[in-house]
Amino acid sequence: MNTPLPEEFVLRLRRDAPLRATNLLKSLDEDPTLSIRWNSWKRPAPDLEPVAWSSHGYYLDHRPVFAADPWWHAGVYYVQEPSSMLLEQALLHLGAILPESAHALDLSAAPGGKTLLLDQCLPDSHYITANEIIPKRASILKENVLRWGSPRIAVTNNAPEHFTPHEETFDLVVVDAPCSGEGMFRKDETARKEWTPESGQQCSTRQSQILDDVWPALKPGGFLLYSTCTFDPAENLDAWSHLNARVLEVPLNRDWGIERIGNAERFGYQCYTDQVRGEGFFFTLLQKPGTLVSSDVRSSTGAPEVPWALKATQTPREVLLNGIRYISKGPQLSEEKGGELRPTTEAVWSRACRVDLPHIELDRDQALSYLHGGDLRIEATDPGMVVLAYRDVPLGMGKQVRGRINNGYPKGYRLRKHPSSLEAGALPW
């Protein structure tokens, strides 16, 4: 890290937390922790060191070239910072409380880590809307959601205030608020460069406005899970203090090193980098006054002309909102080419589908060439559509024609770098 810690930040920490400042500041100049969250629907768990507070999180002792791993492209795992996986504990706590067919909104969802966490933690009968205000980031969010393979996530591209008119719609709202980024100082040099003494208060004001925009859309008795990646009390505790909400306890193992901060009425949970094997992170769980009532939502089913759909593959109409811009309502399972209906790459990725076509297993070099957009010279018996796979995980579609397989991998999802430019070293799984 070439940029030193901001001087005013160091002075504030030494003033406000003199007993812990030395160790915390030292930890912020150490190497960041690397971890992934495993997609247990696609492959069995790897033999790696687990993240204590996550049932699917694992530490890595070195950073592989993820782009050179076909499993990364196929959504077998998602690279996610370990402290943010702590939200799993709050979600598991809510799992027994939320009504059937609950609707969750991840308001600031890109690039997708917390949305995928919702998908792993919430019961199958619940629905998820993942929103991102910035169009380019919303496209990245959509891609990560589709690669993950969940059939119950809709992706939207809206500002927080667009949800204000949809009063009492969501049972759960997750707000990973834009913040001053102090918890990312050892991971993100830009966070160090952009921080100013005014950052915390400016972000707190913005966070309060975001919460005011989305609060009407939360049902009476509904839950709001608020998080940041900073240490600033103005952002972590003051930003939501004006809301008429009850703060809920989340059971956490004391051995994990997470600290409860605040007071008896206004509190949350803080990860400090000198105590937790992860980055700086904060969360709190709020409940709106009232009684949470179950929604009457009917599960969608795959269209009858798409025989490879196993179960619900689109967000139910009752969950869709007028005036909201949807960029995905679930995986597109089919496309028409040459007068015939064919499975798509999104169908191959989806856990709601089983594409009953010949599967051709590729080695790593072949898989990377395919993901880059290359045709494959493979002798095959029968012409027609096939599924290309790597180590038993489907990657996408192709078509056998005269001793080769034409590439059916969508251009927008392709590996941008040529495989020969990647250092395809050993993988830890």
The answer to whether 356 and 156 are in contact (CB under 8 A) is: no
- Which pLDDT tens digit goes with each residue over 51-72? 999 999 999 999 999 999 999 9
Structure confidence at residue 402 (pLDDT)? 83
Is 70 inside a domain boundary?
no
Task: Give this prediction's pTM.
Answer: 0.94
Q: Residue 331 has which token pair?
A: 């995986």
Residue 229 belongs to a domain: yes
- Inter-axis angle of helices 87-95 and 113-121, nearest 10: 30
Q: Examine residue 307 and state whether it is found in any structural domain, yes or no.
A: no
Q: Determine, yes or no, domain membership for 60.
A: no
Asked if residue 306 is part of any domain, the answer here is no
With respect to residue 366, please indicate whether it lies within any of the assigned structural domains: no
Written as six digits, the tokens of 374 are 């290359």
Position 309 scores a pLDDT of: 62
Question: Residues 6 or more apart from 171 whose CB is under 8 A from it?
Answer: 98, 99, 102, 103, 104, 219, 222, 223, 292, 295
- The number of residues in the chain equals 429
Q: Can you point out the beta strands (E) in 137-234?
A: 153-156, 170-176, 218-228
Query: Within 13 Å, how many C-alpha atoms sit on residue 277's CB side?
Result: 15
Domain holding 128, by residue range, is: 7-30+81-287
Tens digit of pLDDT for each residue in 207-245? 999 999 999 999 999 999 999 999 999 999 999 999 999
Number of C-alpha atoms within 13 angstroms, CB side, residue 309? 21
Residue with tokens 């076909």: 70
Write out the DSSP string of 157-176.
---GGGGTTSTT-EEEEEEE
Q: Is residue 411 part of a domain?
A: no
Rg (CA), the chain: 23
Q: What are 358's two structure tokens?
A: 């010949």
Question: What distance in Å separates the CA atoms of residue 218 and residue 88, rounded to the nearest whole number?
Answer: 20
Domain count, the chain: 1
DSSP-derived secondary structure for 34-47: EEEEE-TTTSPPPS
Give residue 303's pLDDT: 46
**Mean confidence (pLDDT) of the chain:** 93
Q: Please give the C-alpha separations between residue 136 and each of 3, 45, 111, 133, in angstroms, as whole numbers.
A: 28, 32, 10, 9
In CATH, what number is assigned to the domain containing residue 86?
3.40.50.150
Q: Is residue 106 part of a domain?
A: yes
E runs forming strands in 26-73: 34-38, 57-60
Report, in this order, helix, strand and coil percent for the chain, each rounded to 5.
Answer: 30, 25, 50
Q: Tokens for 347?
A: 């169908």
pLDDT tens-digit profile, the chain (429 residues):
789 999 999 999 999 999 999 999 999 999 999 999 999 999 999 999 999 999 999 999 999 999 999 999 999 999 999 999 999 999 999 988 999 899 999 999 999 999 999 999 999 999 999 999 999 999 999 999 999 999 999 999 999 999 999 999 999 999 999 999 999 999 999 999 999 999 999 999 999 999 999 999 999 999 999 999 999 999 999 999 999 999 999 999 999 999 999 999 999 999 999 999 999 999 999 999 999 987 766 655 444 456 666 655 567 777 899 999 999 999 988 888 878 888 999 999 999 888 888 999 999 999 999 999 999 998 766 888 999 999 999 999 999 998 899 999 999 999 999 999 998 788 999
Which amino acid does the sequence have at 21?
A: A
Query: Which residue from 289, 243, 288, 280 is spatially nearest to 261, judged by alpha carbons?
Result: 280
